[in-house]
Every structure is written in structure tokens, then in C-alpha cells.
Amino acid sequence: MVKEDIVEDNEDPELSIEVGNGTIPMNQKTQEVTVLDCKGTDGNAQTEETALLHNCARQLQKPLTESKPPGKLRQIFACPPQGLLARTVTNVATVILVWAVVWSITGSECLPGGNIFGILFLFFFAVIGGKIFGLIRIPTLPPLPPLLGMLLAGFLIRNTPFISDIVQINPNWSAALRNIALSVILVRAGLGLDPKALKKLKAVCLRLSFGPCLTETCAAAILAHFLMHLPWEWGFILGFVLGAVSPAVVVPSMLILQAGGYGVEKGVPTLLMAAGSIDDILAITGFNTCLGMAFSSGSTLYNILRGVLEVAVGIVAGGLLGVFIQYFPSNDQASLVWKRAYFVLGLSMFAVFGSLYFGFPGSGGLCTLVLAFIAGMGWSSEKVAVEEIVAVAWDIFQPFLFGLIGAEISVLSLRPETVGLCVATLGIALIVRIIATFLMVSFAGFNFKEKIFVSLAWIPKATVQVEYGKRGNDRTIEDTVADSPLTPVLYQSEFTDLSRIINDLSRYK
């Protein structure tokens, strides 16, 4: 009785199939299926060998019934094209179409040797160089920055004999494109600043803005005077040119770190972007002041007061324009994000070019930084959408900037006898700057690794060196007289060319 009860309890009423008037338990059906599987196609019982053969036959027949994925060759040569081939054809057709449209409008300017042809040629090759360097992966190291490929593309275009003959870019166009890129990157810096972190780090921000720049300037001036035999005025001109940190290198790197959450708690990205921008304003102001003293355009006091006036004009103009675009366009207007991006980019470019036109070159960058920062404070979280549009503008002008920087470097203009002195001056000045930066961020709540990071992140140089390294040379050529220090200026021009390469590469070692 006990066994029957157990059997009745274990039986499941659902595990049965009705056949006619009776039922067949599922366990009995399973046994019958197993017996059928053990027989061949003729109904005879299979041996172990025949069962193995039938099993192998079924495994061979199964892949034949499944659809095979297309191979690589079939995918590449598919009709219509797809994948890599389709993307390549699309990109090539895009380049040809852009050139054809511009050629139909400008004519000979878009043919080899024309200005538009040179700009388009440099742009597309800078983009290709950036893409290639972006694909390079070195184990245990971060990806190589695309700007290295863009610099190399411009360098090769300038120093390859046949290509340098057909790629000719008007210097005015080159300067305009670099200034546009500079205004865009300063807008990104202003929008990316964190007001809370900036308020907390205001003391160390001021130290970092003035200390490293002034120490490197003095070190470079002393070395240039005793090693390169430059006059003191030109030594300090060279020092201020070298003392400026490159916002085009620092700002995008800090924005990437900020987006990934690195150093945000202590405000490291905001500190470097804000201090770097002020560092550039200080270097530009000092450069113009020393340049005026070198050419005796007014008294020394006048040149110093002029530099202070440039800073004041930049802050006031930036504050007023920033408050204006906080409220205009208003929140009830359509396409609000696009209008805000248009105003902040348009006003920044106007500030940079307008300051050059009115003779206040140091005001434009500071005005751009302040107006973007104040506008971002008023937009609060809504500024993220504006930042995305500004980032697209930077992606467009970044190849122009670094391609043109690379194209400014001419190997033939470098004198072998001065290269060693240039490297020595540059290396010693950078060591002084790194030590000064480490001391400036001490006692600010950073650990040792963060201090080292800030010190090394303060090395890059590119944008300011290109723009202002040539102005001293151009000014000397325009004001050439019998006692003009033309030779020192040529040395200075060569030095800045070499320093751009070394400093840009040293940032990523």
C-alpha cells in the first residue's frame, strides 16, 4: 500500500497523451522514441558503429541546410557596394564634389598653385593624417592624439619639394583660419569651466596663471641673451612667446578627462583650462609690451599701461557680451540651442578679429573666455547642447589649425649651428617651468601624482608660438633700418619653429 501510494503521488496527470479511448504515459512514449532512434532506416536495430556513422552524417548535413554568412570577398565586392568599399567611395566622392563645386565658383584659385586649392589640399590631408594616427595603438599607452598626424601632414606638405610648389596658401588666409580656430577653442574652454571648482581654487589658479609663465620667460630671456646673444628686449620677447601654453592642446585634453570624470572632484580640468587661458593672455600682453619697447613706440610706462588696458577692456567687454547672450535669444524662441551657439561663436570671432583691428590683441582672447564663461553660467545645464555644437566647429577647424602649424615649419630655414643652442635653451627653460609649476600647486590639496600631472600638462606649445613667433619677424622686416636687429630676429624665428615640434611631441611622451 505504501508503494502504491508513492507511485500514485509521483504520477503527473498532465504527463499523458490521449489516444483513442485510452492514454499513453509520456515515459512510455519516450522509451518508444528511444527505441526508434536506435533503429536504422530499414527498421533494423543499429550497432554501435552504424549509429556513429548515422550521427556523423546528420552533423554533416546540418551545416548544408543552414545559410552561410557571406565571406569577406563577397561582402567587399557586393553589388551594390557595402561596408568599407562603400565608405571609401563615398568619402572620395565627397572630396571630389567639394573641390568641383569650389572650382566652379573660384576658377583658377582652385587649381594647383591657387590659394583655395592649397587650403583644401592641406585640410583633407590633415584629416587623413589625424585618422591614421588615431588608429595607431601602442600597448600600455593611450591612443596617439590625432593632432600629431595633422602636424605631420602639414610638415610633409611644406617640406616635400613637388608638393610644396603646388600648395601655396596666402599668409592672411592662414592667419585668419588659425584665429578662428583659436576663438573656437577658447569658447570651449569658457563653457567647460566649473564655477564651483574655480571659486574653490581661485588662489592656486592665480599662482598657476602667473608663476610658470613668468619663470619660464625669465629663464628663456637669460639663456637667449648669454647663449644666443640676443638683446635683452628680444630675449624677453622670445621668453613670452615660449611662456604661453597652447590652449588648442590643453583644452581638448582636459575636456576629455572632465567628461570621463577624472580629476573633477578636485577641479583639475577646470584649473588647467582657466589658468591656461589667463597664462596666454599674460604672455600675449607681455609680448606686445616688449615688442613696443624694442621698437621704441612710446615710453616704457605707456607700454605697460597699454598692457593693463588690454586686460581691462577684455574683461569688461566679455562681461557685457556674456550677460547679453544669457538673455538673448530668449527661452521662448525656436531653435534656441542653434541661436545660442551662433551668438557665442560669432561674438568670439568678432572679439578676436576686432581686437587685432583696433590694436588690442590681448583683449580678444580674454573677452572670448569671459563671455563664454558668463553665458554658460546663465544657461546652466542647457549649455551642454551648445557645447556639442561648438565641439563640431572645433572638429572642422582643428585640421586647419594644426595642419597650418605644421606647414609653418621649414627645415631649410633651420641653421645647424643654432639648433643645439635652441634645444639647450628650450630644455632648460622647460625644466624651470616644470619645477615652478610643481611649487605653485603645492599646498593646494593635490597628491603627488596630481602635482606631477599638472606640471607636465603645462608643457604644450603651438598656437601662440605660431601666431606671435612670426609677428616679431614681420615687424622687423617692416621697420628695417640700418641698426635693426634683423639677425637676432631670424634666430628667434628659427627657435620658435623648433620649439613647436619639440613641445607638441613632449606633451605625449
Assign 362 a pLDDT band (cuts: 50, 70, 90).
confident
User: By C-alpha distance, which of 388, 503, 470 is closest to 148?
Assistant: 503
Domain boundaries, given as residue ranges, for the chain = 79-163, 175-478
Give the DSSP H/E element, type plus range, for residue 18: strand 16-19
Instruction: Express as a percent the part of the chain with pLDDT over 90.
Output: 24
As given in the structure block, the three cell numbers for residue 497 are 619653429
What's 175-478's CATH class?
mainly alpha
Q: Do residues 341 and 389 lie in contact, with contact meaning Cβ atoms separated by under 8 Å? A: yes
Could you give the angle at the alpha carbon of 85 between the alpha carbons of 84 and 87, nearest 5°? 65
Write the burial class of residue 67 (CB in 10 Å: 0-12 exposed, 13-18 middle, 19+ buried).
exposed
Write the burial class of residue 89 (CB in 10 Å: 0-12 exposed, 13-18 middle, 19+ buried).
exposed
Q: What is the pLDDT of residue 72?
A: 62
Instruction: Tell me the pLDDT tens digit for each residue of 127-175.
Output: 999 999 888 887 777 777 888 899 999 999 999 988 988 999 998 898 8
Q: What value does the mean pLDDT of the chain take?
A: 78
Assign 58 a pLDDT band (cuts: 50, 70, 90).
low
Assign 278 a pLDDT band (cuts: 50, 70, 90).
confident
Instruction: Express as a percent the part of the chain with pLDDT over 70.
Output: 76
Assign 221 a pLDDT band (cuts: 50, 70, 90).
very high
Question: Residue 237: is its pLDDT beyond 70?
Answer: yes
Least confident of 46-60, 95-109, 110-124, 342-356: 46-60
User: By C-alpha distance, which of 490, 493, 416 is closest to 241?
Assistant: 493
Q: What is the pLDDT of residue 446?
A: 87
Could you give the angle at the alpha carbon of 495 between the alpha carbons of 307 and 413, nearest 5°? 125
Question: How many C-alpha atoms does 128 have within 13 Å on its Cβ side?
Answer: 14
Q: What is the pLDDT of residue 478?
A: 60
